[in-house]
Amino acid sequence: MPATATGLPTGGKSIGRKGGGKSIGGKTIARKQHPRLAGKQAGGKGKQIHGKGNLNSLLPGSRKPRRWKPGTVALRDIRKLQRSTELLIRKLPFSRIVRESAEQQASMSAFPEGVKFQKQAIEALQEATEAYLVDLFADTNLAAIHRKRQTVQPKDIQITRRLRGERT
């Protein structure tokens, strides 16, 4: 084979990669492998060395992804949601529920052609609904803490609504 300026052969078969070694003059020279990867086949399923890991986790210098303590991610999400001002309930499902509820009420009263809503009216209803729910869950959380619990339960919501004077 003719050599280039870099000293590497040109043309012919590709060197390295697929066959597992270099081919020089018809002879294949095996490539040295990392000791943990020595028994691993290049393709196919094969048997796994360490349970359910991938090969990248076996290479030296690779690290596991960060594992946060329980509750850390939840507190981070709470802070993020408290900073934001966007609506948390999706607009289309909320709109469907509002329209369905209005249709049920309209069928019992004097609205023969149904009920129509402006876009701003549904947005205002959604803002008010989310503000009410956030306030209700804040008070419900206080009721759960008063009972020396961290988990909010339905009975906490019931007692909160009763103390507020709302109908159940």
pLDDT in tens, 82-130: 899 999 999 999 999 999 999 988 887 777 778 899 999 999 999 999 9
Q: pLDDT at residue 8 above 90?
A: no
The predicted model gives 30-45 an average pLDDT of 61
Q: Sign of the C-alpha dihedral, residues 156, 157, 158, 160?
A: positive
Residue 144 lies in a domain: yes
Domain that holds residue 117: 89-164
For the domain that residue 97 is a member of, what is the CATH number?
1.10.20.10
Residue 32 lies in a domain: no
For residue 55, the model assigns a pLDDT of 62
Whether the CB-CB separation of 4 and 15 falls below 8 Å is answered with no
Q: pLDDT at residue 2 above 80?
A: no
Whether the CB-CB separation of 58 and 37 falls below 8 Å is answered with yes
User: Distance between the two ends of the chain, CA-based, in angstroms?
Assistant: 89
Residue for token digits 């690290």?
63
Residue 30 lies in a domain: no
Residue 60 lies in a domain: no
- Structure tokens belonging to residue 161: 């609504």
Residue 21 lies in a domain: no
- Structure tokens belonging to residue 61: 């210098």
Those residues with Cβ within 8 angstroms of residue 22's Cβ, 6 or more apart along the chain or in another chain = 15, 16, 28, 29, 31
Whether the CB-CB separation of 131 and 113 falls below 8 Å is answered with no
pLDDT in tens, 126-145: 999 999 999 999 999 999 99
Instruction: Please report the DSSP string for 28-50 in residue order.
Output: EEEPP--GGGTT--SSS----SS
Percent of the chain with pLDDT over 90: 51
The predicted model gives 142-157 an average pLDDT of 96
Q: pLDDT at residue 21 above 60?
A: no
Those residues with Cβ within 8 angstroms of residue 30's Cβ, 6 or more apart along the chain or in another chain = 20, 21
For residue 108, the model assigns a pLDDT of 75
Residue 106 lies in a domain: yes
Whether the CB-CB separation of 103 and 115 falls below 8 Å is answered with yes
Of residues 81 and 9, more confidently modeled: 81
For residue 126, the model assigns a pLDDT of 98
Residue 126 lies in a domain: yes
Residue 46 lies in a domain: no
Number of domains in the chain: 1
